[in-house]
């Protein structure tokens, strides 16, 4: 499949409808307008509505010149429609506001696919799907979004990376079962490595916590020993002071007795 040409929505200056099934887009960066055959009037209306929404989100107003009459000629009815333009979407972010036009298209209607991840629809044209759900690929709009149909018959677009074609099938962009298997193995290996790193970090934090607790216990033990030692020193000093006081009392009593005996002799 050819490359995808991307134009910024802010470069789109005017949209006109030469007929009920065609759109003519004028971009500031192009010398000639782009003409798109959209297959049906409803498709034209849908595209114009999306362009108006994108221009409004970009803070601009879309200049639109509609066809005077929506009656289609027989030639238009039998026209083999060129690839329908599709819009680049991003599940994580809606910026920048851009429009993607596929250079060509490889229809993949009827291909069975398995949903790899849950996806909640955010727009009217999107489809909510769930992991391991089996869907049918109706159209591969571009390398980012595919149109699918679920078991209930509902259709809508989902991220292309969220679905995997049936065993042995390959998509228009060259992916195949082997690539998907290798990607899943890589993802599993990355997840295992991340879990191993998380466990190592948890073990390291556990050892650090145990070391801190040991240090705290040792510090508490040392403080208790220091307190007992200080109390023993205080007790010894108090005992010494008491002994000195008793000696002084004994010496004073002996001195008084001596003085009394001396006076008696005289």
pLDDT of residue 81: 38
Q: How far apart are CA 75 and CA 114, in angstroms?
A: 40
- Looking at residues 165-178, what average pLDDT do you find? 51
Among 187, 188, 123, smallest CA distance to 159 is for 123
Sign of the alpha-carbon dihedral angle for 151, 153, 158, 161: positive
How large is the C-alpha radius of gyration of the chain? 44
Domains 4-102 and 111-174 in one fold: no
pLDDT of amino acid 69? 39
Say whether domain 111-174 belongs to CATH 3.40.50.1820.
no
Q: Which CATH entry fits the domain spanning 4-102: 2.20.25, 2.30.29, 1.20.1070, 2.60.40? A: 2.30.29
Residue 104: DSSP 8-state? S
**What does the pLDDT look like over 57-109, one tens digit per residue?**
777 777 777 654 334 343 444 334 334 433 334 433 333 333 333 333 333 35
What's the count of helices (H) and strands (E) in the chain, helices before strands?
A: 3, 11
Per-domain residue ranges of the chain: 4-102, 111-174, 176-266
Give the contacts of 2 (CB within 8 A, at least 6 positions apart). Answer: 103, 104
- Maximum average pLDDT range among 2-6, 73-77, 162-166, 218-222: 218-222
Three-point CA angle 89, 25, 137, nearest 5°: 35
pLDDT recorded at residue 162: 92
What's the confidence (pLDDT) of residue 176? 52
pLDDT band, very low/low/confident/very high, at 232 (cuts 50, 70, 90): very high
Task: Please tell me which residue, 134 or 9, carries the higher pLDDT value.
Answer: 134
Compute the distance between CA of residue 203 and CA of residue 201 in angstroms, rounded to an integer.
5
Least confident of 75-79, 108-112, 119-123, 197-201: 75-79
Confidence band of 171 (pLDDT split at 50, 70, 90): very low
Write the DSSP string, 145-186.
EEEEE-TTS-EEEEEGGGEEEPTT-B-TTS-BHHHHHHHHHH
- Where helices occur in the chain by DSSP H, the ranges are 41-57, 74-77, 177-265
Answer whether residue 219 shows pLDDT above 50.
yes
Strands 111-115 and 163-165: antiparallel
Question: Which pairing describes strands 22-27 and 12-19: parallel, antiparallel, or unpaired?
Answer: antiparallel
> Number of C-alpha atoms within 13 angstroms, CB side, residue 73?
6
Q: In what order do the strands lie in the sheet with 34-37?
A: 34-37, 22-27, 12-19, 64-65
Report the alpha-carbon distance of residue 191 to residue 168 in Å, rounded.
Answer: 26
Averaged pLDDT of the chain? 76
Can you read off the two tokens belonging to residue 107? Answer: 């229809």
Among 151, 153, 152, smallest CA distance to 114 is for 151
**CB-hemisphere CA count at 13 Å for 224?**
6
């Amino acid at each position: 499949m050819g490359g995808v040409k991307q134009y910024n929505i802010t470069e789109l200056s005017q949209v006109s409808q030469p007929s009920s099934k065609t759109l003519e887009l004028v971009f500031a960066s192009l010398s000639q307008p782009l003409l798109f055959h959209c297959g049906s009037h409803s498709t034209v209306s849908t595209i114009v509505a999306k362009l108006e929404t994108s221009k409004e989100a970009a803070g601009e107003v879309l200049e639109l010149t509609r066809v005077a009459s929506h009656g289609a000629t027989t030639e238009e009815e039998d026209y083999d429609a060129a690839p329908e333009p599709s819009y680049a979407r991003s599940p994580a972010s809606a910026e920048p506001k851009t429009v993607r036009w596929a250079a060509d298209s490889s229809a993949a209607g009827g291909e069975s696919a398995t949903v790899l991840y849950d996806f909640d629809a955010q727009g009217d044209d999107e489809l909510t799907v769930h992991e391991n759900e089996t869907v049918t690929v109706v159209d591969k709009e571009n390398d980012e979004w595919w149109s699918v149909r679920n078991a209930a018959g509902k259709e809508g677009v989902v991220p292309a990376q969220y679905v995997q074609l049936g065993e042995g099938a390959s998509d228009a962009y060259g992916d195949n079962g082997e690539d998907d298997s290798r990607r899943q193995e890589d993802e599993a290996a990355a997840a295992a490595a991340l879990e191993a790193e998380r466990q190592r970090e948890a073990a390291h934090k556990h050892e650090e916590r145990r070391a801190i607790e040991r240090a705290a216990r040792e510090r508490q033990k040392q403080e208790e020993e220091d307190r007992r030692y200080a109390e023993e020193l205080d007790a010894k000093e108090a005992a010494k002071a008491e002994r000195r006081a008793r000696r002084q009392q004994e010496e004073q009593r002996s001195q008084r007795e001596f003085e009394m005996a001396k006076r008696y002799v005289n």
